[in-house]
Amino acid sequence: MAIELRLLRYFAVVAEELHVGNAAARLFISQPALSQQIRALEEQVGLPLFVRHPRGLELTEAGEVLLAEARDVLGGSERLEATVEELRRGRTAALRIGLPPGLPPTLLPGLIASLRAQEPDARIEVRELTTPEQLTALHDGSLDLGLVREPADDDRLARRTLLVEPLGVSLPANHPLAGRESLTLRDLADELFVCFPRPWAPALHDALVRELREKQIEARFQDSEHLSTTVGMVAAGDGLTLSAAPWLEGVPAIVWRPLSDVRIEIRTAAAWRPGNRSPLLRSLLALLPAADMDAAPAPINRSAPFRP
């Protein structure tokens, strides 16, 4: 015996009101039509569900049992409808975002804030992954959006550049070169470079090494897999690092100076699979800003770390 949800809903409202007129008003149907529907349900069940009194109704024992079951069924139906709506809007699936080590701290919160303004219930998962790891995760479907270091040579992915940062030098505040407004790569010829490992962003790493070789600078490198390690080494005077200004921003013992003889740009791009149908991804893509390619760096304060 299959009972229509409509009949159960009518029955539940009548059982709550114990008055057909009041229940009909709640359901926006006529009182005779509601009475007919309740009789149809009783005929289908084969038992009376209400005792009729001149001033109202009273549930029978069968009615009490059916009401408890009806509430469970109706509650499940409402949850199902809510789940379908969430699926339609893409809210049950999390938006999975990858970000590279050393990402400026304001970029991701800005993107998420824009999305949450439109999708306040969106679930967002963030993983720190190197650029090659992100490319792999985008293709195997475990990542929806990657914030990758360019160049990322992968024609199967769509990309949009979000941030263009000029490369400069972060060095100890008490370093003899720290008093200059800008530096050249030649000035750094005898220095130890604390550098991110090549697997983090191979193309960017190779671009840095190529610039040094073209200027015939024999550079000494020491890998650092954590930004905190790089900060500690530079602050202690154990080396310097080529970086964008915000990477080591706010550390009192470190200053940032631009390079005057070469312009190397560190570009961060959003990357995604064109075939990804996530509604949350589509919402975020519509909000992505485009990078200003011609943005000039802010003035440099010689006595303090660069603050964009």
- Mean of per-residue pLDDT scores for the chain: 82
Averaged over 170-181, what is the pLDDT? 91
pLDDT confidence of residue 92: 54
CATH topology agreement for domains 5-89 and 95-162+267-287: no
Tokens of residue 175, six digits: 């370093």
pLDDT at 299: 30
Residue 147 has pLDDT above 80, yes or no: yes
Token code pair at residue 28: 């926006």
Residues 95, 145: contact at Cβ < 8 Å? yes
What's the pLDDT tens digit per position in 45-69?
A: 999 999 999 888 999 999 999 999 9
**DSSP code, position 200:** G
What is the percent of the chain with per-residue pLDDT over 90, rounded to a whole number?
A: 34
Task: Give all strands of the β-sheet with 254-258 in edge-to-edge order.
Answer: 241-243, 168-172, 254-258
Q: Indicate the pLDDT class of residue 153, thresholds 50, 70 and 90.
A: confident
Q: In angstroms, rounded to a whole number, what is the distance separating the alpha carbons of residues 194 and 220?
A: 9
Q: How far apart are CA 101 and CA 222, in angstroms?
A: 17
| Residues 90/144, Cβ–Cβ less than 8 Å | no
In this prediction, residues 24-41 reach a mean pLDDT of: 93
pLDDT, position 35: 93
**pTM reported for the whole predicted model:** 0.59
Question: Token pair 């469970």 is at which residue?
Answer: 72
pLDDT at 27: 92
211 band by pLDDT with thresholds 50, 70 and 90: confident
Token pair for residue 178? 């720290």
**Overall fold of domain 95-162+267-287:** D-Maltodextrin-Binding Protein; domain 2 (3.40.190)
Cβ-contact 39, 66 below 8 angstroms: no
Nearest to 180 by CA among 259, 69, 100, 243: 259
Distance CA 87, CA 115 (A): 17
Comparing C-alpha atoms, which of 10, 40, 5 is closest to residue 28?
10
Among 128-132, 164-168, 199-203, 302-306, whose mean pLDDT is lowest? 302-306
Separation between Cα atoms, residue 113 and residue 140, nearest integer Å: 27
| Homologous superfamily of domain range 168-263 | Periplasmic binding protein-like II (3.40.190.10)
pLDDT at 90: 53
5-89 is classed CATH 1.10.10.10: yes
3-state SS class at 39: helix
Residue 31: its pLDDT value, please? 92
pLDDT of 306 reads: 23
pLDDT of 257: 92
pLDDT tens per residue across span 69-93: 999 899 888 878 866 776 666 555 6
Provide the residue ranges of all domains of the chain, joining segments of one domain with +: 5-89, 95-162+267-287, 168-263
Q: Please, what's the b/e burial string for 116-145 (b: 16 or more CB within 10 A of its CB; e: otherwise)?
A: eeebeebebeeeebbbbbbbebbeeeebbb
**Cα-based torsion angle of the residue sequence 37, 41, 44, 49 in order, rounded to the nearest 10 degrees:** -140
Token pair of 173, please?
């505040």
Q: From CA 113, how far away is CA 115, in angstroms rounded? A: 5
